[in-house]
């Protein structure tokens, strides 16, 4: 029979439950957990292939200092000394952490406590900045808090599901399967509209595909707001009681007539009219969005343009209704809960509010708390490049491949006086640049929690022996914290200790003014932590908490009203220039991030074996490009050699290149080396889907 453990998948933000069975001979069988409310037993191709990705081949099993084997004590002393020396000589802002949505909440909590509370700098950012920070910023602008109002059930109960900037079929496959099953069951009672410049696999279940021009979502949703106003579809009672700023937002939107929207989006007026009429007459509507919305220089405005339409109609927090941000990574949400971004504080408190800083400092009994936001990812690596950061710790992510302007990021890390990398593999493009490398435990070897896109907290559980001298990230951070002189604050014995403290902070002096409250788990003991079953927050100490937020208002602004946000700035379409294309980067179905794990599965690699560039047949023909021919794609920052995938799924004038491949797996295909470091000014999220590129035969 073997040991059976209930855990969760380490890939996307759907957060599927997994049953892992390890036999006496060491073999591992993976199945979907039929009792987990995210997936009810389903798994996608990546989740199903997890057993193929856990071999120890290539794993780093011991710490190294400048590439040579080292004892843990020596490596940790070296890290603590380097950080302490930099802080003593140059101040707290001369050090930085760059962490990951792959970390478990307990890892994230300790990293943030160390940086923001004890080092006293907020220079800790995460690859989640590249994933969903525009959603966070949009939520905070509208709701006063980073709150996802609804649940996955809403996506099945809605009569209209609008998927904008989301290739759900490939990027959140089990959620796609749930919607597809609901559509199959409910037939014409359920409408699905996909808004995407590309005809992606998600369009297979769509009643309507609106192939808008890249980055024209804001005009589309502004026009919708104006249409709702003209059609008398505004929920005047909800707007009056629970929101502010509606008249100004509606006035600003009114310049977007259907014909103006059609001209800007590239849709026909009939398509625009049909979508607007459908949205107007369908009360039970959910609008889901993902990286096509977030990864834009106007990403936050896109989020608020969508939220504005839901606030205007009062379609929020009720069954089958609401805006819904689909989180990319397995624990981007859990990271947010502990203040994982450079501009946040733990337990959904704000670095900008003195009372929040004071509360967290008292709870942690910390010598200080950072008093201003730290550097966001792009700015953080720019500070490394300029020499302002003297010591940098990178955990569980590979920015030399995944950051925009990746070559400059590599140069910056190479030149940094002291770099620590914690990872499973010492061979990643980033780990090779480390002065000190710390071997981390991976999926199946470590314990902790993650939070999925619907605010559901689930356990990840170990079922494999810890290999070699690998250690959990939280342990590494706590050991360095102790060596820096903070022994009491970092005396954790287990992830259960950390979760108990995290839950206690969520409820500490929380009189209902903060959304994140899991006080029911404050001080949870090891036994209860081991037995924890998936639950959605809020879970306060005195009750179950509501499944949804905001149906009766209760927003987390000073007056408890939601804000309509003016999103009419920066609407002009940017001309590409002769011969240029819009370059869109993104995921494919069977790979994950920079392939350090999925690249090891033969099954997953069989789906798409090599990197490619998708191009429309007419564009290929005009540029003398043959199907499967090799081409050079050149951007502002560099070029890559790829195979041409000529397909009418791709809109004319644009290219799509997967983000995954790098030198280790394919030679010269690191697409983020092309992408300039343009960011959304509000969220700091890079615009990874709208850079400029040219293409020619190689």
Residues that bind ligand SF4 (CB under 6 A): 9, 11-12, 14-16, 39, 43-44, 46-47, 172-174
Minimum distance of ligand SF4 from residue 18's CB (angstroms): 7
CB 669, min distance to ligand SF4, A: 23
CA atoms lying within 13 Å on the CB side of residue 11 = 28
| 3 state DSSP class of 641 | strand
Cβ 13 to ligand SF4 shortest distance, Å: 7
**Closer residue to ligand SF4 in complex, CB, 164/460:** 460
Straight-line distance from the first to the last Cα atom of the chain, in angstroms, rounded to the nearest whole number? 55
Hey, is 81 helix, strand or coil?
Answer: helix
Coil, helix or strand at residue 178: helix
Q: Which is nearer to ligand SF4, 174 or 434 (CB)?
A: 174
Give the residue with the Cβ less far from ligand SF4, 172 or 302: 172
Question: In this structure, what DSSP letter does residue 8 have?
Answer: E
Distance CA 583, CA 32 (A): 36
Nearer to ligand SF4, 78 or 456 (CB): 456
Query: Are 313 and 235 spatial neighbours (Cβ–Cβ below 8 Å)?
Result: yes
In angstroms, give the least distance from the CB of 467 to ligand SF4: 23
Nearest residue (CB) to ligand SF4, 30 versus 210: 30
CB of 328 to ligand SF4, least distance (A): 10
**Minimum gap (Å) between residue 12 Cβ and ligand SF4:** 3
Q: Residue 175 or residue 375: which is nearer to ligand SF4 going by CB? A: 175
Nearest residue to ligand SF4, using CB? 47
Minimum CB distance to ligand SF4 smaller for 15 or for 197 = 15
Alpha helices in 64-186 (DSSP H): 72-90, 105-112, 133-143, 152-157, 168-171, 173-186
Tokens of 540: 């306060």
Task: Report the distance separating Cα 134 and Cα 101, nearest Å.
Answer: 15
> Shortest gap between Cβ of 39 and ligand SF4 (angstroms)?
6
| Smallest distance, ligand SF4 to C-beta of residue 577, A | 38
- Per residue, what are the HEC states of 302-368? HHHHHHHHHHHHCCCCCCCCEEEECCCCCCHHHHHHCCCCCCEEHHHEECCCHHHHHHHHHHHCCCC
Cβ-based nearer residue to ligand SF4, 9 or 400: 9
- Closest to ligand SF4 by CB, 44 vs 391, is 44
What contacts 24+ positions apart, CB below 8 Å, involve 534-537? 534/17, 534/36, 534/37, 534/38, 534/456, 534/457, 534/458, 534/459, 535/456, 535/457, 536/151, 536/454, 536/455, 536/456, 536/457, 537/337, 537/451, 537/455, 537/457
Residue closer to ligand SF4 by CB (options 9, 687) is 9
Contact call for residues 322 and 310 (beta carbons, < 8 A): yes
- In the complex with ligand SF4, the residue whose CB is nearer, 294 or 506, is 294
Tokens of 217: 């979502």
Give 276 or 443: the residue with its C-beta nearer to ligand SF4: 443
Query: Minimum distance from CB of 44 to ligand SF4 (Å)?
Result: 3
The DSSP annotation for 257-294 comes to: -HHHHHHHH---HHHHHHHHHHHHH-SSEEEEE-HHHH
Question: Distance between CA atoms of 442 and 424, rounded to whole angstroms?
Answer: 7
> Minimum distance from CB of 391 to ligand SF4 (Å)?
34
Tokens 């490619």, residue? 612
- How far is 332 from 105, CA to CA, in rounded Å? 9
> Taking the CA of residue 190 as centre, how many other CA atoms within 13 Å lie in the half-sphere pointing to its CB?
22
Least distance to ligand SF4, CB of residue 38, Å: 7
Q: Please, are residues 209 and 194 in contact by the beta-carbon 8 Å criterion?
A: yes
Q: Measured from the CB atom, is 458 or 510 closer to ligand SF4? A: 458
Instruction: For residue 601, give the nearest of 17, 54, 20, 10 by alpha carbon.
Output: 54
Contact (CB, 8 A) for 656 and 584: yes
The H helix count followed by the E strand count for the chain is 25, 28
CB of 40 to ligand SF4, least distance (A): 11
Nearer to ligand SF4, 12 or 305 (CB): 12
Q: How far is the CB of 105 from ligand SF4 (least distance, A)?
A: 16
CB of 167 to ligand SF4, least distance (A): 13
Residues paired with 641 in a beta bridge: 632
The nearer residue to ligand SF4, 310 or 587, going by C-beta atoms, is: 587
Question: Nearest distance from residue 188's CB to ligand SF4, in Å?
Answer: 27
CA distance 275 to 200: 19
Based on CB atoms, which residue is closest to ligand SF4, 173 or 314? Answer: 173
Closest separation in Å from C-beta 472 to ligand SF4: 21
**DSSP state letters, 448-474:** EEEE-TTSEEEEE---SPPPTT-B-HH
Alpha-carbon gap, residue 440 to 59, rounded angstroms: 10
Residue labelled with tokens 């955990």: 395
């Amino acid at each position: 029979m073997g040991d059976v453990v209930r855990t969760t998948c380490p890939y996307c933000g759907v957060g599927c439950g997994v049953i892992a069975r390890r036999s006496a001979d060491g073999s591992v069988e993976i199945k979907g957990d039929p009792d987990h409310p995210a997936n009810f037993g389903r798994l996608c191709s990546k989740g199903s292939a997890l057993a193929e990705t856990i071999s120890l081949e290539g794993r780093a099993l011991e710490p190294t200092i400048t590439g040579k084997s080292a004892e843990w004590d020596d490596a940790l002393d070296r890290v603590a000394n380097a950080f302490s020396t930099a802080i003593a000589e140059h101040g707290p802002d001369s050090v930085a952490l760059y962490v990951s949505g792959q970390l478990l909440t307990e890892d994230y909590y300790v990293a943030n406590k160390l940086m923001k509370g004890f080092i006293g700098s907020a220079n800790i950012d995460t690859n989640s900045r590249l994933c969903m920070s525009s959603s966070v910023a949009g939520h905070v602008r509208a709701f006063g808090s980073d709150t996802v109002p609804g649940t996955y059930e809403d996506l099945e109960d809605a009569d209209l599901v609008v998927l904008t900037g989301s290739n759900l079929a490939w990027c959140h496959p089990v959620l796609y399967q749930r919607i597809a099953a609901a559509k199959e069951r409910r037939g014409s009672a359920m409408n699905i509209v996909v808004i995407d410049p590309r005809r992606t696999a998600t369009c297979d279940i769509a009643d309507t595909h609106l192939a808008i021009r890249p980055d024209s979502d804001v005009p589309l949703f502004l026009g919708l707001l104006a249409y709702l106003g003209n059609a008398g579809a505004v929920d005047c009672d909800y707007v009056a009681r629970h929101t502010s700023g509606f008249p100004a937002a509606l006035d600003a939107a009114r310049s977007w007539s259907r014909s103006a929207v059609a001209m800007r989006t590239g849709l026909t007026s009939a398509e625009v009219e049909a979508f607007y009429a459908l949205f107007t007459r369908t009360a039970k509507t959910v609008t889901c969005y993902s990286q096509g919305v977030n990864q834009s220089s106007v990403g936050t405005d896109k989020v608020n343009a969508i939220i504005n339409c839901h606030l205007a109609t009062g379609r929020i927090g009720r069954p089958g209704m609401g805006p819904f941000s689909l989180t990319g990574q397995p624990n981007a949400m859990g990271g947010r809960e502990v203040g994982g971004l450079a501009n946040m504080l733990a337990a959904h408190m704000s670095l900008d509010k003195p009372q929040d800083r004071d509360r967290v400092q008292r709870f942690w009994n910390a010598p200080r708390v950072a008093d201003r936001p730290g550097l966001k990812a792009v700015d953080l690596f720019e500070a490394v490049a300029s020499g302002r950061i003297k010591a940098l710790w990178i955990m569980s992510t590979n920015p030399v491949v995944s950051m925009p302007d990746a070559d400059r990021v590599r140069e910056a890390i190479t030149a940094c006086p002291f770099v620590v990398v914690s990872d499973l593999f010492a061979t990643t493009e980033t780990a090779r640049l480390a002065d000190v490398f710390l071997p981390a435990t991976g999926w199946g070897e470590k314990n902790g929690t993650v939070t999925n896109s619907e605010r559901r907290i689930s356990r990840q559980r170990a079922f494999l022996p810890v290999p070699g001298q690998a250690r959990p990230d939280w342990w590494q951070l706590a050991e360095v914290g102790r060596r820096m002189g903070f022994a009491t604050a970092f005396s954790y014995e287990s992830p259960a200790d950390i979760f108990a403290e995290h839950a206690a902070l969520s409820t500490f002096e929380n009189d209902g003014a903060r959304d994140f409250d899991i006080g029911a788990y404050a001080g949870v003991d090891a036994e209860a932590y081991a037995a924890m079953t998936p639950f959605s927050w809020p879970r306060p100490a005195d009750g179950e908490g509501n499944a949804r937020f905001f149906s009766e208002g209760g927003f987390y602004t000073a007056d408890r009203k939601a804000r309509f946000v003016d999103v009419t700035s920066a609407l002009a379409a940017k001309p590409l220039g002769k011969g240029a294309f819009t370059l869109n980067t993104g995921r494919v179905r069977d790979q994950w991030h920079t392939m350090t794990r999925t690249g090891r599965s033969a099954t997953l690699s069989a789906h798409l074996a090599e990197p490619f560039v998708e191009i429309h047949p007419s564009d290929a023909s005009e540029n003398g490009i043959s199907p499967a021919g090799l081409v050079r794609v050149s951007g502002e920052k560099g070029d890559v050699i790829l195979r041409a995938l000529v397909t009418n799924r791709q809109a004319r004038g644009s290219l799509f290149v997967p983000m995954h491949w790098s030198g280790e797996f394919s030679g010269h295909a690191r697409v983020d080396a092309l992408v300039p470091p343009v960011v959304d000014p509000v969220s700091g999220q890079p615009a990874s889907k709208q850079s400029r590129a040219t293409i020619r035969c190689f």
